[in-house]
A and B are shown apart, each in its own frame.
Chain A
Amino acid sequence: MWNQVGQSLNESASRVLAGLASILPGAAALVLAMIVAVLVAVSVRWLLWRVLRAMRFDDRLETLGFSPVAEWSPAKSPSLLVARFAYWVVILLGLLIGLAAIDANQMSAMMGRVLFYLPNVFVAVILVLLGGVLARFLARTVLIGAVNMQIQSARLLSAGVKWMILVLAVAMALDHLSIGGDVLKLAFAILFGGIVLAMALAVGLGSKEMVSRTWEHQADRRESPVMASTDHV
Chain B
Amino acid sequence: MDALPQEIERRLGRIGSADIVIGIPTFNNAATMSDVIGAAQSGLRASFAAATSVIVHVDGGSRDTTVDHAADAASSNGSEPHVLQFSQPLDGMSQLAIAQYLKPAKGMACRTVFEVARRLRAKACGIVDADAGSPDAEAIAQLVKPIVQESYDFVLPVYKRGTYSGTITSAIAYPLTRALFGKRVRQPLAGDFACSTRLLDRFVALDPWRGDVARVGIDVWVAVQALTANARLCQVHLGGRSRDSSADGAGIAATDMRDTLPSVLASLFTAVERTEAVWQKVRGSEPVDAFGTAAAPEPEPSPFDVRQCLEAFRLGVANLHEIWSVALPPTSLHALRKLARISDNQFALPDELWARLVYDFAIAFHQRRIGREHLLTAFMPLFWAWIASYVQQVSDMNSEQVEERLEALCVQFEAEKPYLISRWRWPDRFTP
Contact = CB atoms under 8 A, between A and B. Distances in A.
Contact of A140 (B257, B312, B374): B374
Contacts of B253: 229-232
B304 interface: yes
B100 interface: no
Contact of A150 (B168, B304, B315): B315
Contact of B381 (A145, A148, A224, A230): A148
Given A147-B320, A148-B381, A232 B168 contact: yes
A223 interface: yes
Contacts of B368: 63
Interface residues of B, number: 49
B377 A145 contact: yes
A230 B374 contact: no
B303 A140 contact: no
A150 to B, nearest CB: 6
Nearest to B264: A233
Nearest to B251: A231
B371 interface: yes
Nearest to B161: A231
Given A150-B315, A155-B319, A231-B242, A225 B374 contact: no
Contact of B252 (A143, A154, A226, A233): A233
Nearest to B165: A231
A143 B245 contact: no
A152 interface: yes
A232 B305 contact: no
B273 interface: no
B354 interface: no
A65 interface: yes
The bracket for how many chain A residues form the interface is 20 to 34
Nearest to B243: A231
A227 B381 CA distance: 16
B167 A223 contact: no
Contacts of B380: 144, 147-148
Contacts of B162: 230
Contacts of B166: 231-233
B114 interface: no
Interface in A175-205: none
B161, B254, B304: which has the most chain A beta carbons within 10 Å? B304
A146 B388 CA distance: 20
Contacts of B165: 230-232
B303 A230 contact: yes
Contacts of A221: 311
Interface of B: 102, 161-162, 164-169, 173, 189, 191, 242-243, 245, 252-254, 256-258, 260-261, 264, 301, 303-305, 308-309, 311-312, 315-316, 319-320, 323, 368-371, 374, 377-378, 380-381, 384, 387-388
Interface of A: 63, 65, 137, 140-141, 143-148, 150, 152, 154-155, 221, 223-233
18 contacts: A63-B369, A140-B374, A144-B378, A147-B316, A148-B258, A148-B380, A148-B381, A155-B319, A223-B305, A225-B309, A225-B388, A228-B301, A228-B303, A229-B254, A229-B303, A231-B253, A233-B252, A233-B264
